[in-house]
């Protein structure tokens, strides 16, 4: 209590070490022999209920439509939803050396704890360190193969699992998901500040559930009030990727396991050029 959570806490920081792969004695996990992953992007929010898994799925689908090889790592261990959204049921297979991620209809590879338990309705009642260990195993023990983009769907908050991913996986950056409510915006700011403390680039912010569209006249209705996504992005100097509406069609497709059929242009300009631009401007 009373300590500065953003202050240095290990000998490497005291000595001024600049090794990005070793911070406070924690090294980035190496790839296994069955994986070649070029870029890792996490999708994060400070709170639950903002549609983070939907945004992660739409990002993965958008990149896949551009021809990239894409994987989705469901790091929300206690609330996994990605397999159901992509219509994947049953248990994941193994080649005897590593777990084989199931492949969705468009070729997106997916790994989730729900693919390792007999019944998808069984609760996962684990403490933080075990949750973090499971996420590490999704990196070290899964045969991802050739992947251009691995999208990591983080659980809400700034606890053990997001911290583990930021420290242990070679993240290229984060995408932050917010919603219009002032409370959500306040908590999302915590996530942005955590990323800054961990020296993880924030590649952009998406404001989800920004409005609903009247099916009769096309009027945009701000169900949760005026959003602050663009203003928040400008305040922190990060790109604002855009707004996503409350869309019953998206909810229906997710329930039916057909999220890949949903069309949105919000990530149309998101790809290698975003990573290159960020590196050129920020490093």
Q: What is the DSSP letter of 177?
A: E
Q: pLDDT class for 280, splitting at 50, 70, 90? A: very low
CATH (one of 3.40.50.300, 1.20.140.10, 3.40.1160.10, 1.10.3430.10) for 34-282? 3.40.50.300
Instruction: Select the more confidently predicted residue: 262 or 19.
Output: 262
DSSP β-ladder status, 212-213 and 220-221: antiparallel
Instruction: Note whether 35 and 143 are within 8 A (CB).
Output: yes
> Is the pLDDT assigned to residue 23 strictly greater than 90?
no
Q: What is the pLDDT of residue 7?
A: 43
Arithmetic mean of pLDDT, 48-57: 90
Higher pLDDT, 214 or 113: 113
pLDDT of 188 above 50: yes
State the residue for tokens 């924690």: 26
Residue 226 has pLDDT above 80, yes or no: no
Higher pLDDT, residue 128 or 161: 161
Question: Does residue 13 register a pLDDT over 50?
Answer: no
* pLDDT tens digits along 114-156: 999 888 888 888 888 899 999 999 999 999 999 999 999 999 8
φ and ψ at 68, to 5 degrees?
Answer: -80, 155
Q: Tell me, what's the pLDDT at 281?
A: 45
pLDDT confidence of residue 47: 76
- What pLDDT sits at residue 276? 56
DSSP 34-96: TEEEEEEEEEE-SSSSS-HHHHHHHHHHHHHHTT--EEEEE--TTS--HHHHTT--S--EE-S
If one counts every other C-beta atom within 10 angstroms of the C-beta of residue 13, the result is 13
Q: What is the pLDDT of residues 234-260, one digit of tens each?
A: 988 999 999 999 999 999 999 999 999
Q: Which of 93-102, 180-189, 244-253, 256-265 has the lowest mean pLDDT?
A: 180-189
Write the CA distances from 138 to 144, 197, 209, integer angstroms. 9, 25, 30
* Nearest by Cα to 31 from 151, 166, 170, 201: 170
The token pair at 99 is: 């777990």
Q: For 77-91, write each residue's pLDDT tens digit.
A: 988 899 999 999 889
**pLDDT value at 283 more than 60:** no
Say whether pLDDT at 54 is over 80.
yes
Only one residue has tokens 């396991």, namely 257
Residue 3 has pLDDT above 50, yes or no: no
- Per domain, the residue ranges of the chain are 34-282
Mean pLDDT across the chain: 85
* Model pLDDT, residue 50: 85
Q: Which of 251, 228, 275 is nearest to 57 (CA)?
A: 251
Is pLDDT of 6 > 80? no
Q: Is the pLDDT of residue 60 over 80?
A: yes
Average pLDDT on 197-217 reads 90
The 3 state secondary structure assigned to 103-171 is ECCCCCEEECHHHCCCCCCCCCCCCHHHHHHHHHHHHHCECCEEEEEEEEECCCCCCHHHHHHHHHCCC
Contact of 202 with 195, CB cutoff 8 Å: yes
The interaxial angle of helices 160-168 and 128-140, nearest 10 deg, is 30
- Assign 212 a pLDDT band (cuts: 50, 70, 90): confident
Q: Could you give the dihedral angle defined by the CA atoms of residues 146, 27, 159 and 80, in that order, rounded to the nearest 10 degrees?
A: 20
How high is the pLDDT of residue 105?
Answer: 96
pLDDT of 10 higher than 50 = no
């Amino acid at each position: 209590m009373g300590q500065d959570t953003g202050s240095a806490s290990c000998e490497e920081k005291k000595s001024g070490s600049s090794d990005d792969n070793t911070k406070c004695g924690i090294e980035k996990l190496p790839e296994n022999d069955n994986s070649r992953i070029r870029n890792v992007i996490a999708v994060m929010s400070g709170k639950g209920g903002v549609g983070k898994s939907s945004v992660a799925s739409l990002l993965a689908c958008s990149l896949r439509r551009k021809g990239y090889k894409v994987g989705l790592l469901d790091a929300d261990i206690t609330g996994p939803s990605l397999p159901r959204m992509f219509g994947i049921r049953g248990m994941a297979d193994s080649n005897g050396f590593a777990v084989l991620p199931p492949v969705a209809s468009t070729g997106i590879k997916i790994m989730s704890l729900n693919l390792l338990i007999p019944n998808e309705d069984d609760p996962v009642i684990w403490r933080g360190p075990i949750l973090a260990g499971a996420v590490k195993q999704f990196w070290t023990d899964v045969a991802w193969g050739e992947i251009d983009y691995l999208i990591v769907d983080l659980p809400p908050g700034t606890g053990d699992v997001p911290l583990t991913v930021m420290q242990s996986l070679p993240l290229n950056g984060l995408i932050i998901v917010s919603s219009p409510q002032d409370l959500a915006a306040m908590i999302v700011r915590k996530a942005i500040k955590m990323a800054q403390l961990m020296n993880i680039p924030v590649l952009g912010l998406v404001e989800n559930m920004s409005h609903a569209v009247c099916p009769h006249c096309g009027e945009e209705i701000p169900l949760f009030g005026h959003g602050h996504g663009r203003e928040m992005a400008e305040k922190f100097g990060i790109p604002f990727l855009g707004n996503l509406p409350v869309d019953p069609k998206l909810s229906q497709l997710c329930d039916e396991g057909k999220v890949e059929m949903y069309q949105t242009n919000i990530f149309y300009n998101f790809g290698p050029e975003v990573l290159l631009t960020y590196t050129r401007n920020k490093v």
